[in-house]
Amino acid sequence: MAGADEVTQSMRDRQWKEPEKWTLTIRQFSLVVDHCKSLPAYLKIKTEKGFINLYDLNKICVTPWTATTGCCLATMMNKSVGQHAKLMLSHCWGEDLEECQVALEQFYLDYDIGTDTPVWFCVFANYQPHDGAGPSIAEQLAMEPFANVIQSKHLQAEFGGLGMCAVHTTKEDLYDRLWCVHEVDAALAQNIEVRAAMSKQYAQETIRRIRVFVEEGCNEESCLRAAGINVNTCKAKCGWPDDERMLITIVMEMGGFDRLDAVVAAFRRASLPADVLKLVDRLERACHRVKSLVQQKAYGAEAVLEDISQLSAALDSCKGLEQMFQKPPKRLLHCAKEAETVIAQKHLYLRRCAMWDSSNEQLNTIPRRLRFTQMMDSVVKTKTGVHCLGSTVKSGISHQQVLDEIRTLKANVVRACRGTSTKAWRQQLVNMLNLLQEQEDTVESLLAIPNLAERSARWNAEARFYENKLGFIDCRCGEFTVPVGNNFQTPSDLLVVSDYARACRRSIIQAMVEGQVWLGIGRGGTGKTATAAAVSSLLGREPIVLKNSHFASNHSTGRYWELIFEKASAHHPKDVVIVHQAHLLPEQVLRRVVEAAKKAEVQLCLTAPRDLPWGSEFVRQAVGLIPLVAVARLTLAAAGFEAYDFLAKELEKFLKDCKVRLSRQVHYTWGFHFQKSFIKLCANACRREGILGDAKSEVNETARMLLQRCLPRLVEQDRAEFQDLISKYFGVVLQPGSMPSLSSTTFMLKSELAEHHAVVLLPVKEEDEQACLSHLNATAAADGIEMFRVGMAGPSSDLNGGFGGVSDFLFFLACALRSALNAKKSWIVVVCEKLEYQDTTEYFRRIESLMDDDMLLNLPSGERVLLPGEARIILLMKGSVSEEASAAIMAKCCGIIWVDDQRKDW
Q: Report the amino acid identity of residue 117.
A: T
What is the distance of C-alpha 320 from the center of its chain?
15
The residue that leads in pLDDT, 814 or 836, is 814
Most confident of 73-77, 188-192, 741-745: 73-77
Q: What are phi and psi of 543, to 5 degrees?
A: -85, 135
**DSSP calls for 449-488:** ---HHHHHHHHHTS-EEEE-TTS-EEEEETTEEEEEES--
Between CA 128 and CA 62 the distance in angstroms is 7
- Longest Cα–Cα distance of the chain, Å, equals 103
Most confident of 34-38, 472-476, 559-563: 34-38
Between CA 508 and CA 53 the distance in angstroms is 46
The residue that leads in pLDDT, 821 or 639, is 821
Q: Name the strand (E) or helix (H) holding 440.
A: helix 426-447
Q: Name the strand (E) or helix (H) holding 191.
A: none
Residues 859-880: pLDDT tens digits?
766 677 777 767 778 877 765 4
Strand 543-546 versus strand 517-521 pairing type: unpaired
Q: What is the DSSP letter of 62?
A: I
Between CA 495 and CA 463 the distance in angstroms is 12
Strand 786-791 versus strand 480-485 pairing type: unpaired
Q: In the prediction, which pLDDT does 883 show?
A: 46
Fold of 360-485: Methane Monooxygenase Hydroxylase; Chain G, domain 1 (1.20.58)
Per-domain residue ranges of the chain: 4-198+249-272, 360-485, 492-643, 645-730, 742-905
Q: What are phi and psi of 665, to 5 degrees?
A: -70, 150
What is the distance of C-alpha 517 from the center of its chain?
19
Most confident of 79-93, 179-193, 650-664: 79-93
* Beta bridge pairs of residue 177: 237
Q: In the prediction, which pLDDT does 509 show?
A: 63
* Beta bridge pairs of residue 519: 606, 627
Between CA 538 and CA 489 the distance in angstroms is 9
Homologous superfamily assigned to 492-643 = P-loop containing nucleotide triphosphate hydrolases (3.40.50.300)
Q: Which of 195, 170, 199, 200 is nearest to 184 (CA)?
A: 195
Q: In the prediction, which pLDDT does 686 show?
A: 43
Number of H helices, E strands in the chain: 37, 20
Q: Name the strand (E) or helix (H) holding 875.
A: strand 871-878
Q: In the prediction, which pLDDT does 117 show?
A: 92
Q: In the prediction, which pLDDT does 741 show?
A: 45
| Fold matches, 360-485 and 492-643 | no
Q: In the prediction, which pLDDT does 511 show?
A: 62
Between CA 895 and CA 713 the distance in angstroms is 9
Lowest mean per-residue pLDDT among 326-335, 366-375, 872-881: 326-335
User: Is the confidence at residue 514, as pLDDT, over 50?
Assistant: yes
Q: Which of 182, 196, 101, 174 is nearest to 141 (CA)?
A: 182
Between CA 701 and CA 557 the distance in angstroms is 16
Q: Which of 884, 621, 879 is nearest to 769 (CA)?
A: 879
Positions of E strands within 156-287 = 164-168, 194-198
Mean pLDDT of all residues belonging to the chain: 66
User: Is the confidence at residue 370, as pLDDT, over 70?
Assistant: yes
Between CA 6 and CA 901 the distance in angstroms is 86
Q: In the prediction, which pLDDT does 796 show?
A: 36
How many other C-beta atoms lie within 10 A of the C-beta of residue 26?
Answer: 21
Between CA 50 and CA 47 the distance in angstroms is 5
Residue 121 pLDDT grade (very low, low, confident, very high; cuts 50, 70, 90): very high
User: Is the confidence at residue 118, as pLDDT, over 90?
Assistant: yes
Q: In the prediction, which pLDDT does 62 show?
A: 92
* Beta bridge pairs of residue 606: 519, 579
Q: Would you call 116 exposed, middle or buried from its count of C-beta atoms within 10 A (0-12, 13-18, 19+)?
A: exposed
User: Is the confidence at residue 829, as pLDDT, over 70?
Assistant: yes
Between CA 201 and CA 205 the distance in angstroms is 6
Q: Name the strand (E) or helix (H) holding 826.
A: strand 826-832
Most confident of 107-121, 401-415, 549-563, 740-754: 107-121
The residue that leads in pLDDT, 818 or 651, is 818
User: Is the confidence at residue 202, as pLDDT, over 80?
Assistant: yes
Helix (H, G, I), strand (E, B) or coil at 543: strand
Asked if 559 contacts 505 with a C-beta cutoff of 8 angstroms, the reply is no
Q: In the prediction, which pLDDT does 383 show?
A: 47
Q: In the prediction, which pLDDT does 685 show?
A: 47
Q: Name the strand (E) or helix (H) holding 25.
A: strand 24-25
- CATH architecture of the domain with range 742-905: 3-Layer(aba) Sandwich (3.40)
Q: Report the amino acid identity of residue 785.
A: I
* Phi-psi group of 878: left, alpha or beta (phi > 0 → left; psi -120 to 50 → alpha; rest → beta): beta
Share of the chain above pLDDT 90, in %: 5
Between CA 432 and CA 425 the distance in angstroms is 11
Q: In the prediction, which pLDDT does 696 show?
A: 45
User: Is the confidence at residue 312, as pLDDT, over 80?
Assistant: no
The residue that leads in pLDDT, 427 or 42, is 42
Q: Which of 742, 889, 868, 763 is nearest to 817 (CA)?
A: 868
Q: Name the strand (E) or helix (H) holding 89.
A: strand 87-90
Most confident of 512-521, 613-622, 742-751: 512-521
User: Is the confidence at residue 661, as pLDDT, over 50?
Assistant: no
Helices (H), 227-273: 241-253, 257-270
Q: Would you call 357 exposed, middle or buried from its count of C-beta atoms within 10 A (0-12, 13-18, 19+)?
A: middle
Between CA 544 and CA 643 the distance in angstroms is 5
Share of the chain above pLDDT 70, in %: 47
Between CA 760 and CA 768 the distance in angstroms is 18
**Which strands make up the sheet holding 895-896, listed edge to edge?**
786-791, 826-832, 871-878, 759-764, 895-896
**Which strands make up the sheet holding 473-477, listed edge to edge?**
464-467, 473-477, 480-485
Between CA 714 and CA 696 the distance in angstroms is 25
* Beta bridge pairs of residue 626: 518
Question: Which whole-number Å values give the CA distances from 99 to 33, 63, 189, 871, in the listed order?
Answer: 12, 22, 29, 39
Residue 722 pLDDT grade (very low, low, confident, very high; cuts 50, 70, 90): low
**DSSP calls for 149-184:** HHHSGGGSGGGT---EEEEE-SSS-GGGBHHHHHHH
Between CA 340 and CA 349 the distance in angstroms is 14
